[in-house]
Amino acid sequence: MQPISGTTRLAGVIGHPLAHSLSPAMHNAVYEELGLDWVYVPLHVKDEIGLRRVVAAIQSLPFMGFNVTMPFKQAMLELCDEVAMAASMAGAVNTVHCVDGRLVGYNTDGRGLLEALKDEAGFEPAGKDVVICGAGGAAGAALVGLMLAQAASITIVNRNIDGAEELLDRVRPHMNAVRVQAVSAMAAEETVRAADLLVNATPVGMRPDDDSPIPVQWVGPGQVVYDMIYGRTTALVSGARAQGALALDGLGMLVAQGATAVDIWNESKQVRASRATMRAAAEAQLTAHEQDGR
Give the catalytic positions in this structure.
73
- Cβ atoms < 10 Å from Cβ of 208: 8
Per DSSP (E only), the strands in the chain are: 9-15, 38-44, 63-68, 82-83, 95-99, 102-106, 129-133, 153-158, 179-184, 197-200, 224-227, 246-248
Reference 144, options 84, 204, 188; nearest CA is: 84
- Long-range pairs of 48-57 with CB within 8 A, sequence gap ≥ 24: 48/72, 48/75, 51/14, 51/75, 51/76, 51/79, 52/79, 54/14, 55/14, 55/79, 55/103
- Give the full edge-to-edge strand order of the sheet including 179-184: 179-184, 153-158, 129-133, 197-200, 224-227, 246-248
Mention every residue, 6+ apart, whose C-beta is less than 8 A from residue 148: 86, 110
Q: What 3-state DSSP class applies to 83?
A: strand
